[in-house]
């Protein structure tokens, strides 16, 4: 496998960044599908395949771009900042909305329980 045209990578069979990500997800108890993966070379493709949030940098190799969910601007064009601003912030907004909705729902349920308590 080649990370870049001038590199030749040698790895034992079954070793990849994707496998490492799976192991870390078990150790730290997170869903590997939810990880944001921003990559640029072929040795990253395994990570792209297991994440729903996969981004290939604009300067990535063609094979990498074909596997990624999104292609973002290159390193020189602040592609990582672009992804954070466009995707992470949207996720954060959705999480805040979900949290707020859950809190409002919980408050309403508590009020109903309190009203029920006082009426009985």
Q: What are the tens digits of pLDDT across the range 66-106? A: 999 999 999 899 998 898 888 876 666 665 655 555 555 55
Q: What is the mean pLDDT of the chain?
A: 77
Q: What fold characterizes domain 17-119? A: Rossmann fold (3.40.50)
Assess contact for 79 and 58: CB atoms under 8 A: yes
pTM for this one? Answer: 0.66
Window from 51-55, 88-92, 114-118 with minimum mean pLDDT: 114-118
pLDDT at 48: 92
pLDDT value for 116: 41
């Amino acid at each position: 496998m080649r990370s870049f045209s001038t590199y030749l990578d040698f790895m034992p069979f079954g070793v990849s960044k994707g496998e490492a990500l799976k192991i870390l997800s078990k150790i730290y108890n997170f869903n590997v599908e939810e990880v944001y993966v921003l990559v640029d070379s072929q040795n990253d493709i395994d990570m792209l395949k297991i994440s729903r949030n996969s981004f290939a940098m604009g300067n990535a190799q063609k094979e990498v771009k074909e596997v990624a969910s999104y292609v973002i601007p290159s390193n020189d064009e602040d592609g990582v900042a672009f992804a954070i601003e466009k995707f992470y912030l949207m996720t954060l907004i959705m999480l805040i909305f979900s949290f707020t909705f859950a809190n409002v729902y919980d408050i309403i349920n508590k009020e109903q329980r309190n009203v029920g308590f006082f009426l009985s």
